[in-house]
Amino acid sequence: EEGLRESEEKYRLLFEESRDAIAIITWDGRFVDVNQACADLFGYTKEQMMRVSGRDLSVDPADYEKMRLEVERKGFAKDLEGKFRRKDGREIYCQGSVAIRRASDGTPIGRQVIYRDITERKQAEAALRESEEKYRRLFEDSRDAIIIATRDGRIIDVNQAYADLLGYTREELRGISVQDTWADPADRERFNQELQRQGFVKDYEEKARRKDGKEFYCQLSTTVRQAADGTMLNQSIVRDITERK
């Protein structure tokens, strides 16, 4: 009996002092025990939590149903994401991992859920998507021709204005070398030296060659930027200056 009490006390301490929100829930979703972190997460007292259910906290009932079905099918669920509503009405995103609780004879008697607040991460992801979309629109809709290439000149992406300028499709341009579009190799060599020396090139004039072989003058400004994976890339804005020349 003393050993049992010590074991229960040890796990009760782990339960109460966990920084993660932990709840014990019946099969119908009613809370029967929560730690303080769980009560704080949803803005209730521990006593108030006993009077609500997991379904009550879910903003979208489909999230709760998805969790329930997965636990019934697999016996557990890991890192499921859903939106929940706090007592004050504020909506938060949580990631939940669920395990079945069983009686000593193995009979399922409920579920144990660990919740993690991922609201900040979801907001950051949404802001990143919005930022990416904004700059993607600037890239696509620009009247100036824009090209992104590796440091050795292999084309990664171009906007439609660049494809139109060179007379290729965008698919044809991806993967070929920028050098293939320059009419004079000496121009490219001087450009590379200048870019290497100061890390950017502004208003550099050179002669380019379209897909049909026609040569024209263009002016380009290039900056070096770092991709998300750490790769260094050249980003250039190109303008046709043939009429001016």
User: Which pLDDT band, with edges at 50, 70 and 90, does 155 fall under?
Assistant: very high
Query: For the whole model, what pTM was predicted?
Result: 0.60
Q: Rounded CA gap, 120 and 126, in Å? A: 10
**What share of the chain has pLDDT > 90, as a percent?**
51
Q: Find the mean pLDDT for residues 1-5.
A: 77
DSSP string, the chain: -HHHHHHHHHHHHHHHH-SSEEEEE-TTSBEEEE-HHHHHHHT--HHHHTTSBHHHHBSSHHHHHHHHHHHHHHSEEEEEEEEEE-TTS-EEEEEEEEEEEE-TTS-EEEEEEEEEE-HHHHHHHHHHHHHHHHHHHHHHH-SSEEEEEETT-BEEEE-HHHHHHHT--HHHHTTSBGGGGBS-HHHHHHHHHHHHHHSEEEEEEEEEE-TTS-EEEEEEEEEEEE-TTS-EEEEEEEEE-TTT-
Average pLDDT, the chain: 89
Per residue in 172-202, pLDDT (tens digit) is 998 788 888 988 888 888 888 888 888 899 9
Per residue in 118-141, pLDDT (tens digit) is 999 999 999 988 988 888 898 999
pLDDT at 217: 94
Residue tagged 């380009």 (tokens): 220
Check pLDDT > 90 for residue 16.
no
Check pLDDT > 80 for residue 144.
yes
Check pLDDT > 90 for residue 164.
yes
Rounded to whole angstroms, what are the CA distances from 15 to 9, 11, 83, 123, 190?
10, 6, 24, 29, 67
Check pLDDT > 80 for residue 54.
yes
Check pLDDT > 80 for residue 228.
no
